[in-house]
A and B are shown apart, each in its own frame.
Chain A
Amino acid sequence: MTIESILFYVLSAGAVGSALFVVSRRNPVVAALWLIFNFFCLAGLYLSLHAQFIAVIQIIVYAGAIMVLFLFVIMLLNLGDERRLVEGVTPRKVVGGILSIAVLVELWYVFLGTPSIQHAALGNRATEIGTVEHIGAQLFTKFLLPFEVTSLLLTAAIVGAIVLAKRKLD
C-alpha cells in the first residue's frame, strides 16, 4: 500500500460514511455538519486527482458559503429542537430504497465489469490541467460563454431569493 492508496481509501470511507450519516440523522444541524465533513473528504479526493483549484473552490464555495447559508437558515428557523417531525416507514420509502439499491448494484456491476477503466492510470496531464493558470485560461477562452451566462444565473438567483424570502408588507 502506497501512501496515496491509503489516503484514497481513508477519504473514500469518510465520504461514504458521512453521506450515510447525512441522510440518517434526525437533527438537521448534525446532518449539515456531516455534509460539511463529506465535502472535506471530497476536496481531499480532488487533491488526490491533482485538481488543486477545484479542491480549494470546493472548500470555499461549498463548505465556506453554501453550508454556512444552510446552517444560518436552520438556526434562523430554529429547527434544531424540532422533535415533532416523526418519520415512519411507509411503502413508498421501501420501494424507493429497493429501487435505489437496484441502481447501486447496476452501477457497481458496470464499473467492476468494464476492463477499460480497471487499469487506467492517472494521466500525465492531470497535474497540468488542474492548476489555477490552466483553468483560468480555459475559462476565459473556450468556456467564456457559459462563464458569462453563469453571472446571469447568479443574478437571477439573488433576485429570486430576495423576492421569495422577503416579508410581505401586508
Chain B
Amino acid sequence: MRRYLRLLYVQARASATIAMQYRVDFLVQGAISVFWVFIAFVPLRVVFSSKAGSVAGWSYPEALVVLGWFTLLKSVLEGAINPSLQAVIDHIRKGTLDFVLLKPVDAQFLVSTARFEPWRLTDFLASLGIFIYAFTLLGRAPTPVQLAVGLLMLGLAGLVLYSLWILVVSAAFFVVRIDNLSHLLSSIYDAGRWPIGVFTGAIRILFTYVIPLALMTTYPAMALLGTLEPVTALGALVAALAFSGAARAVWLLSLARYTSASS
C-alpha cells in the first residue's frame, strides 16, 4: 500500500514537472476552461429565462448546482482520466504496453496514474464559484451532513467515471483505431450538465442505468440540496461498487488476450 502511495507521488510529480515546462500553455488552457464553463452556462440561463419557475421540477439555482458538479467532475475527467486514457491506447497500438506489464506493480494502477494535467484546476475553481453563486441564490448553505453525503457521492461518481474509462481502454485491446472513444465518452458526459429529470423514456433509462450520468451529477447535487432519498444513495453506493468491480474484471480479461503489437 505504501509503495503504491509513493509511486502515485512520483507519477504525479513527473506530470507536474512536465506541465511546468509549458507555462504559456497553462495560461491558455486555463482561459479556455473558463470559457467553456461560460459556454455551458449560457443555455442554462436562456432555458430558465424563457420560462419562469422550474424545468422538470428543477429551479434555476438547483440546476446550477448540477452544473457545478458537472464542471467539478469534468476537471477530474480531463485532468486525471482522459490524458492517461490516450497514453494507454497509444501503448496498446504501438506494443509498448509490454514495458508497463513487465514492471512489478499492478498494470491498471500504473496506466491509470501515468499522466495528469494540473491546469484543469481552473475548472475545479470555476465549479466552486458556481456552487457559491447557486447557494447564494438559494439563500442557504448545505448542512455538514449534506456536504458529507455530497462528497461521498462525488467519490462514487469519480469511481464510476473511472470504471467507464477502464471499459473504454479494454475495448482498445480488441479494436485497433479507437483514439476517438475518449471523444465519444466526453460527448456523452456532456449531457450530464442537465438534471436527469429532463430526460424521458429510453434516454432516461440509458443515462440512469447503462451510462450512469444520473449518479455522476444529479445525485450529488440532490445530496447537496438535501433532496436525495437514503434508498437512492444506498442504491448508488451498491451500483458504483458493482460497476467498478465489473470494470476491473473486464480489464483483467482483456489484458489476458493482449498479444503485443507485432506478434
A and B: bona fide binding partners: no
Binding site for A on B (CB under 8 A): none
